[in-house]
Amino acid sequence: MTDLSLLQILLANLALLAGACLQGVAGYGIGTLAAPLLFLISPY
């Protein structure tokens, strides 16, 4: 497992929060918003 910096962990949590909020409002979001952002943060 790779070591993630504090900034990467915070960005990952922010991406998941945004995806969860979009999921609650519109019915989609975790797979369409959060997953690509998480890949950009840590592509391993």
- Between 44 and 17, where is the model more confident? 17
Which pLDDT score, from 0 to 100, does residue 6 have?
Answer: 92
CA neighbor of 42 nearest in space, from 17, 14, 11: 11
CA distance 5 to 21: 24
Report which DSSP code applies to 27: S
Which pLDDT score, from 0 to 100, does residue 1 have?
Answer: 53
Phi-psi region of 3 (alpha: psi -120 to 50; beta: other; left: phi over 0): beta
Q: Which long-range contacts (CB under 8 A, 24 or more apart) does 15-24 make?
A: 15/41
Q: For the chain, give every domain's residue range.
A: 12-41
Query: CB–CB of 14/30 below 8 Å?
Result: no
Which pLDDT score, from 0 to 100, does residue 13 have?
Answer: 92
pLDDT in tens, 3-36: 889 999 899 899 889 888 888 888 876 777 788 8
